[in-house]
Amino acid sequence: MLHQVIMLIFSKTYAEYVTSGILLGEQLNCSYTDISCFRAASYQQIAAAQKVVNTLLKSLKILLIFEPWVPTIDNLIVHGQAVDTIKNVSYPLKPLIIGTLTEEAVLYIYEDWHKPVYSTQYTEITVATFNRRALKVLERFPPVGTRDQRLLLVSVGMHWMFACSTRVFARKAATYTYVFGYPLDFDGWDNLTLCNDYVCHGSKLSYVSESALVNFTDAGRQLTTNIVTSWTNFGKIHDPNQPVIPSLL
C-alpha cells in the first residue's frame, strides 16, 4: 500500500484511450488490444507513429489536444479522474506532493499559435475553450492592450490545467505544494527553441531524475540535489523538509 503519493499528471478515460490506441496501432500494424505487438516495436517506430497520430483529430477536448499521450483510467482499479473523485471522498487521503511550473503552458500555446494572438482572437479562443464560463475567465484574465496575447494565454492555461487541480487536492489532503521556476540551464530543448529561457512543461524532469547531471551548472546541480533530498525525505517520513534539510543556496 502507498503511504504517500507524488502527483504528476492527469489520466485519460478508457474511451479516450481507445481512439489514440487504434490510430497508433494502425501506424504500427497492431490491434490496439495487442500489447505484445506494441512492445515488439522499436522506440523509433513508436515515436514516428506518435508523430503521425499527433497530427490527427482524436478528441474535441482541448486538454487532450495538448497532452495526447498520458496514463489511462482502466475502469478496473481506477474508476474516475482523480481530481473529480477527490471532491467527494469520505476517508483520509494519503499525504501528497503536488505542484506546478511557472510557465507550464508556453510549449502548448506557442506550438499551436505560431503567430501573434491579438485581443479579438484571444477572446474567441477563450469563448471556444470555456463556453459558458468564458465571461468569468475574461474578467479574471482580460486582454492586455493591443499587444500579442500569447503570454496571457500561457497564464490562463497554467492556471486552468495545473494550478486549479493543485488547489483542489490541497483542500482535501495533507499536501505539500511546490512552484518550480528554474529554466533549463543547459542546451536541452533541441528544436524546441521557444522554450529557451522559459520554464516549459517538463522542465523539472531533468532535475528530478538527474538525467543531465553532467550538463548542469553548479546552481543546477544544487537544485537537483535539493529536489532529490526533499522527495527522499517525503518518502521516508512524509515531510520533504526533514530530516535532511535542503540547502537554500
pLDDT in tens, 135-158: 999 999 999 988 999 999 999 998
In the predicted structure, residue 7 carries a pLDDT above the cut 60: no
Grid coordinates representing 87 are: 471532491
Please give the model's pTM, rounded to 2 decimal places: 0.70
The distance between the two most distant Cα atoms of the chain, rounded to a whole number of Å, is 55
In the predicted structure, residue 3 carries a pLDDT above the cut 70: no
Chain segment 47-88, per-residue pLDDT in tens: 999 989 888 877 767 766 667 777 778 777 777 777 777 777
Chain segment 195-239, per-residue pLDDT in tens: 999 999 888 888 888 887 788 889 989 999 999 899 899 988 888
Location of C-alpha cell 503511504 = 3
Chain segment 84-128, per-residue pLDDT in tens: 777 777 667 778 888 889 998 898 899 889 999 999 999 999 998
Interatomic CA distance for residues 198 and 204, integer angstroms: 12
In the predicted structure, residue 133 carries a pLDDT above the cut 50: yes
Q: Is the backbone peptide bond immediately before 243 cis, with ω within 30 degrees of 0?
A: yes
Grid coordinates representing 149 are: 496575447
